[in-house]
Structure 1
């Protein structure tokens, strides 16, 4: 049997990398610079991980927008206090991190919403919510123009011949001449749109500017003649656009499609759905010949230019995660259910994410059976259940294909459990409608992939599972369900503070009442059967965990220790231990025999909704309200080895020091103690040196020390001097040091001046104590003499 778990540590985690705002390409097209609240995270597209962070995560300021120059060697970050920080980006960001080059105050009176460089990268334009655009000469570090507009600035573009086009949220377009000495700054106004200008694009090798708007049109303007060439309908509220190397226009908007247009005629060449939600931004990287699309759900989608196929999907921020489940052969994938209608399917090795559309509302639970890890069952707030199969689409990617659906609950389906055996396979579901339902999987799990046309209600197009049995389980919402190892019993827990047991007749696929376990004072958050014993664990909002004897339907023990509601619990190590997670983000490891808490880990910053383990219990996965997914590994043996190694080294070092002292090699012993930075060992050596007949022995040993060892010895003296018992040793050592080393050299040592200053207060205190003792001795001597003379 494996050793008990004492400690777990983070192996890897999925963190937030994008929380809204702008995303920029790196020079080589292999990295992305994305805004994440108050920092910029650099995402490596090879493994979808944040390789490093630009900025201070503890900074209270929030990023409003970013900009990168055409050569992509300078990154500008604007904050909500209207300050801009400029970072220099090295040619290879993987080797060196960007460095802060300068910071300046823009004098805008509202947050900066958009920043753009000119073609040369020496002129910057900043547009803000104060209706003002400022033009900056970065070489001379000065503001050259302040351009007041009619509304909040939404888009900026540098045109040909020192022209600047500015778009506003009310639909106006202003053309400015920013040539130094120009008699008139504001040249023209175009009023072709009646809604938010979302993008301004320069047509290659021309003076034409394309404006995109949420009024479902685009307009083409000539910056020299100042005329509007045409206004064309796009039949969609456009959020962003980009021009590819072929000269065509690519747009994204509220429909979730990428569309390719001929600019002159607005002829639609092709379109492809890449998201079930609105797409807020699209940008093209000519180096890698790829698009980057950003969805309204804060997902980053990398597309191939030629085919518009999805190459990579990165979840910027998960929001609240309700459930995680490992699946696939050798647990190669992880399904994540969060506060969205899509299932996030992660490759556990590369962290590449695939978004699987199916449910219409938030997915609450995902489970996979042990007898076929390619199957997955999910349930949602849309009252439905979908059975999926994991299939490979290529050597590196996989997806979930729907097999069948189950409908019948009249309210949110909160939790699922699948039988542990394939002989009579079934699915148990519980819901906020207070019922438990039993679904006979039978051959349904072996069905061929369902044919979905992509239109209409997804669930309605799937083959339906038949409900075998329905029971009213609890008086209030049912939160959790679990199935025993033998598939003979089902346990449910609800907000009515009860744990209910249900018998399963696998021949008839019928449910029967098996008993009620009462004792919790708040709603039950989770129930789990032990694999190898007749035990059941339940946790509750009353901050306790209860272990029940199923046969006798009695409570064996109540485990206390959590300071808030306990949401999840699992058995580990052959049912001898428990892992529990609570609403404060704390994980606790318990040993059942003693009810002792072996370890308490501050894992998350908010509620933990998901706690699961892999097949051999070597790794655990947690996720919750903070949107983080953390994979933990058991480090008990590793930590024990480290502690044993430290203990062995300490014994060897003590033996070496003892040998040196016994051989009266005091100088070598002092050097050895200082090298190990052990104050007590050094103290023992100095005591031995001071007890020698020759008073020069201590000074001789100190004179052989180098500068670093002298500094360590001074540091020890400061510690010893704080204790009246050890202060004589400290004073003697300091006496020897100041007589061996010249004062100028001593003060020049790093930190020496501070050590000397630290010695003074306690030295004065020791002197005062000696003076008082001297006075007391004199008084005692006087009294003693007077008493003798009187006798």
Structure 2
């Protein structure tokens, strides 16, 4: 891959699939319908290529909730203008995309927050922030009931014998009789809770409804006798729940733990930690026998019902991404550090994801050493560094067959650890870390290979239970926060950059594992965002908030080149192509590729909508990964060679076509030449052919050539006439062709052309202009002739 990079293009990307709201199962339990701002994302749990989007991403409306009927053949989407759109979900799995069946205005005066179908799918209940629940008969397409409640609606469930139970955010429960002709709609009010009703569940084959609340209790209610059977403590603020096929209750809440209860007694049977954050939703799919848990960090977690093992994890939205790193055998995995305490590990082939808990605060950087790509090192705002190892559990390289387990930790920084850099060789392995405490620390990794994988149990802090590395050397690096660090190819130098506008060089004694001052590089007018050593030369690149990229001579410690062209702060820089080019990324999401020798920008790509915090390449430098504040991860590929091949092919085809046309003209095969030019849609070539036909001795040749054209070719020729008619130098050819067409083509065929009238309308104004010009020329000639005759008579 030694050729310069001229063009890059998106190969694939990791986009947001869930930004909050409701998530629903499909009929076969293989797809999820998740809310993503103004569209619904359909997530195929079997094949990521089967994902697609329902709705228009450009729509200004926002989705407030969704619902799928029990038969799973209808998807309803409610928007913030109180309109509901119904999509029909095809039964044939080959037909992926649902179609819009109908939409209607609900007449709610506030956004719809809850939608639920009846068991048979004929009725729909909508609950809104206007305290009103409306019941809709979908068969007759009419609203049958409008039920006013005491506060904002938070949960709805259809009970037995045409009963409807509604929960409110202030803890009230109302029981309604929605039978037609019922003398009284509101038949009972329960006041057993004092906080938000988060879920209402109908116990199968019974008339009992379970109410879950944030007041850490659940209540059981009989919808026929209106009796409150029990109010039982759950000792946790409950956010959602589901009833499994075994008849037990499963709940989730602020602890991030899935709990199983006996409904009648609230006896805790089992609990399983799912995530370190709160879980907002829990739903059970009986077909696939799986749970879906939705965390407050917008992650979708699929669990097997029997074993409660996590079978699939999907990051709904990354928020802000700080760092990305390719690691594993043949770069099989990618680690992502974002605005969360969990590390996201992606399989680069399938883009399946694992969420790895370890840090207690946001992870800021992830790196992997070249000498052992199974090792991953992460640092965090919790002031710690954790070393991980990727374990393959079987021969398959999918997400379920690998596990990232901790080896050891490194603590000692007094503030957030912002960046890491690891040695390039394993002769004397080390890690350099920098922090907002203004220091650089050196860690000896020679004992790392001897450390065994640590078994971490319980839900405590992982860092506290891991073996600790000892810091070999500590230096005060900068006067302000240190942003970046890099190690030279020979492992002899380390470079750091900070908010004090300086780039510092540090000499390294690998025998004693000690740091020494190597020099200071000055010249930037703002904080330094990134530093990178060249791999095959004595160069160092740095980028800064002053919108420049500087190339330094490390030996002489001077700036040899300043590259300008960015219009905002430059955050990342990377050497590529044997140090002949660099890639830079800025705070506006622009990625630029520069040739160092000429300081020219080869290409500029609008990669992201906000700051780019991560820029990395694979070993071959054929692919690049960028990520940033917009939460997107984009894989780029070098298409310079592909584009060159396409351009060469186009050039070759153009030469062949020109030669063919020249041969036809030289052989006076004008009719074939005209058809050839029209088939290729080349106006200039057609103009040359028609000019040759007009200048031919036989005046009938043009008419004969046009008469042999089919309807499509005639229409193309008319399009050319419109263009030619706009220029006085080519208008005579356009007029002659148009004259032949209207005399040779059947009027009905001419009118039947799709754009016939627009062609005529376009020809008229320019034709009138040409006529006026000819009239003026005729008058000028007549005047000239008159004056000439008068002059001769005088003489």
User: TM-score, with normalisation over the residues of structure 1?
Assistant: 0.98
1:577 corresponds in structure 2 to 581
Which residue matches 2:211?
A: 211
Partner residue, 1:344: 344
Q: Could you list the per-position Cα deviations for residues 398-440 of structure 1 after superposition, in whole angstroms to 9, with x for gaps in the alignment?
A: 2221111111111111100001111111110111111111111
Contact 1:47-1:352 within 8 A present in 2 as well? no
Cα offset for 1:386? 0.8
What are the ranges of 5 or more consecutive residues in structure 1 without an aligned counterpart? Answer: none
> Pick from 610, 623, 626: which aligns with 2:627?
623
Query: Quick one: distance in 2 between partners of 1:431 and 1:206?
Result: 60
5 Å-filtered alignment, 1:481-500, equals 481-500=485-504
Q: Distance in 2 between matches of 1:605 and 1:34?
A: 23
Match of 2:231 in 1: 231
SS at structure 2 position matched to 1:479: strand
Matched, 1:161 2:161: yes
Deviations along 1:603-651, whole A, 9 cap, x unmatched? 1111110000111111111100010111111111111111111111111
**Residue 85 (structure 1) aligns with:** 85
> What is the alpha-carbon distance in structure 1 between the residues aligned to residue 776 and residue 50 of structure 2?
65
Asked if 1:596 is matched to 2:590, the reply is: no
Of residues 261-270 and 41-50 in structure 1, the stretch that sits farther from structure 2 once superposed is 41-50
* Cα distance between partner residues in 1 of 2:127 and 2:782: 84
Partner of 2:194: 194
Q: Which residue of 1 aligns with 2:357?
A: 357
| 1:517 correspondence with 2:521 | yes
Q: Structure 1 535/354 Cα, relative in aligned 2: closer, same or farther at 3 Å?
A: same
How far apart, CA to CA, are the structure 2 residues paired with 1:719 and 1:101?
44
CA distance in 2, matches of 1:227, 1:625: 53
Contact 1:78 1:85 in 2 (8 A): yes
* Separation in structure 1 between the aligned mates of residue 94 and residue 477 of structure 2, nearest angstrom: 56
Instruction: Give unpaired runs (5+ residues) of structure 2.
Output: none
* Aligned-partner SS, 2:647: helix
| 1:49 positional shift | 5.8
Which residue is 1:104 aligned to?
104
Structure 1 residues 660 and 761: alpha-carbon distance in aligned structure 2, compared to 1, 3 A threshold: same
- Determine if contact 1:345/1:399 at 8 Å carries over to the other structure: no
1:344-369 deviation line (CA, Å, top 9, x unaligned): 01111111111111111110000000
Which residue pairs with 1:25 in the alignment?
Answer: 25
Shift in Å at residue 180 of structure 1? 1.6
Inter-partner Cα distance in structure 1 for 2:471 and 2:14:
37
Q: How does 1:676-755 map to 2 (within 5 A)?
A: 676-755=680-759
What secondary structure is seen at the aligned counterpart in 1 of 2:610? Answer: coil
Aligned mates of 1:445, 1:86 — CA distance in 2: 59
Counterpart-to-counterpart distance in 2, 1:173 and 1:5: 65
For 2:92 and 2:35, how far apart are their aligned partners in 1? Answer: 20
Whole-Å Cα distance in 2 between the matches of residues 167 and 482 of structure 1? Answer: 57
Q: CA deviation at 1:771?
A: 2.0
2:408 match: 404
Find the aligned partners of 1:174 and 1:365 in 2 and give their Cα distance: 51
Match of 2:429 among 425, 449, 454: 425
Q: Secondary structure at the match of 1:556?
A: strand
Write the mapping of 1:117-266 to structure 2, written as runs, cut at 5 A: 117-266=117-266
Q: Of residues 409, 413, 418 in structure 1, which corresponds to 2:417?
A: 413
Q: Is 134-143 or 611-620 further displaced after alignment? A: 134-143
Give the Cα separation in 2 of the matches to 1:93 and 1:703. Answer: 51
Which residue pairs with 2:16 in the alignment?
A: 16
3-state SS, counterpart of residue 330 of structure 1: helix
Distance 1:598 1:40 in 2: 38
Residue aligned with 2:690, SS: helix
TM-score, normalised via structure 2 length: 0.98
CA distance in 1, matches of 2:272, 2:49: 27
Q: 1:660 aligns with which of 664, 678, 698?
A: 664
Between stretches 669-678 and 756-765, larger displacement belongs to: 756-765
Point out the more displaced range, 645-654 or 738-747.
738-747
Taking a change above 3 Å as real, the CA distance of residues 445 and 383 of structure 1, as seen in their structure-2 partners, is farther
Report the secondary structure of 1:46's partner residue.
coil
| Pairing partner for 2:642 from 633, 638, 642 | 638
Deviations 1:525-559 (A, max 9, x none): 10000111100011111111111101111111111
Instruction: Report the alpha carbon displacement of residue 704 of structure 1 after superposing the two structures with TM.
Output: 1.2
Contact 1:48 1:314 in 2 (8 A): no
Partners in 1 of 2:628 and 2:381 — Cα distance? 17
Q: Does 1:609 align with 2:608?
A: no
Q: How many angstroms apart in 1 are the aligned matches of 2:602 and 2:747? A: 54
Contact (CA 8 Å) 1:25, 1:33: kept in 2 or not? yes
Once residues 331 and 51 of structure 2 are traced to their aligned partners in structure 1, the CA distance between those partners, rounded to angstroms, is 25
Partner of 1:460: 464
Superposed displacement of residue 220, structure 1: 1.0
Q: 1:458: Cα distance to partner?
A: 2.0
SS, match of residue 121 in structure 1: coil
Q: 2: distance between equivalents of 1:49 and 1:171?
A: 43
SS in 1 for 2:559: strand
Secondary structure of residue in 2 paired with 1:689: helix
Tell me how far apart the structure 1 counterparts of residues 232 and 646 of structure 2 sit (CA, whole Å). 70
1:453-499 CA distances to partner (integer Å, 9 max, x unpaired)? 23433212111111111111111111100000111000001111111
- SS of alignment partner, residue 712 of structure 1: helix
Residues 300 and 313, structure 1, Cα contact 8 Å, conserved in 2? yes
What residue in structure 1 maps to residue 535 of structure 2? 531
Shift of residue 780, structure 1, vs aligned partner: 2.3
**TM-aligned CA deviation for residue 50 of structure 1:** 6.6
Question: CA 1:788–1:446 in structure 2 vs 1: closer, same or farther (change >3 Å)?
Answer: farther
Local SS of the residue matching 2:51: strand
C-alpha root-mean-square deviation of aligned residues, in Å? 1.2
Moved more, 707-716 or 738-747: 738-747
Shift of 1:93: 4.8
Cα gap change, 1:723 to 1:89, in 2 (>3 Å): same
Offset at 1:445? 4.2
Which residue in the other structure is 1:2 paired with? 2
Give the match's secondary structure for 1:641.
helix
1:758 to 733, 758, 762: 762
| Shift, 1:79, TM fit | 0.6
CA distance in 2, matches of 1:157, 1:455: 35
- The number of residues matched between the two structures is 791
Please say which of residues 253-262 and 14-23 is displaced more in the overlay: 253-262
Shift of 1:670: 1.1
